[in-house]
Amino acid sequence: MTKILDGKVALVTGGSRGIGAAVVARLAEDGADVAFTYLRNADRAGDVVERVKSAGRRAMAVRADSADAAAVKDAVDQVAAEFGRLDILVNNAAVFLIAPVEELGLDEFESTVAVNVRAPFVAAKAAAAHMGDGGRIISIGSNAAQRMVFPGFTLYAMSKAALAGLTKGLGRELGPRGITVNLINPGPVGTDLNPVDGPDAELIKGFTALGRFGTPEEIAGAVAYLAGPDGRYLTGATINIDGGFTI
């Protein structure tokens, strides 16, 4: 049976765990060959590769530090060369630095911006050079860019808010080429770094309308929609998948 992403090639940055790994798996299930970047855990990356292969698709894991602009561009070009094309880019890799503003220096600022802002720009620019009509660029932001209920998120929220401007600018610029650019802002999602049974979980759930954490698979479902044929007329948009956190 033909799947909606048959013949497509996707690259997911930060795809070895959490939301990124769920996105990799979903795109493969929908028929895409999928590459992803990772930084440290080669064993975990290998598990994700095997999951893609078990779906009958080609897989590729690329070790690349998103704080290194050259490494980000090289990863995009390497994937396009290996698979012969690139149709879908998912900017997922991010750093999550939480601290009072008086404790944040320029080193923390630079490292956060390098991964959360510069890397998506570099990856999108590099990917667009390989994409044709029907290309998709999707970034993973955060509900923190739109609603702030805890102190200490200033730097992180700023970096994620920048993705909305990147999305709108690229959406306008790449639209004539048939390339869509969109942003997903997840709310609280149950991952290793943000467990549903963590010390602040009940408080966090209370800020959502649905009273629960989301799952990585629910975010991956939104990515799949944007990457597939049903998302072809949506661009420059920010979509909140947050259980009503930002209502």
Active-site residue identified among 38, 156, 225, 233: 156
Strand partners of residue 38: 63
CB 181 within 8 A of CB 174: yes
Neighbours of 218 (CB within 10 A): 17
Nearest to 93 by CA among 69, 109, 59: 69
Can you tell me the distance from the alpha carbon of 89 to that of 15, in angstroms, rounded to the nearest whole number? Answer: 12
| Cα distances (Å, whole numbers) of residue 155 to 16, 96, 123, 149 | 25, 9, 21, 14
* Helical axes 119-128 vs 69-83, angle rounded to 10°: 30
CB 34 within 8 A of CB 61: no
Can you tell me the distance from the alpha carbon of 86 to that of 214, in angstroms, rounded to the nearest whole number? Answer: 29
CB 24 within 8 A of CB 44: no
Alpha-carbon 27 to chain mean position: 13
Q: Where are the beta strands (DSSP E) in the chain?
A: 9-12, 33-38, 59-63, 88-91, 136-140, 180-186, 238-241
Catalytic annotation present for 156: yes
Active site amino acids: 156
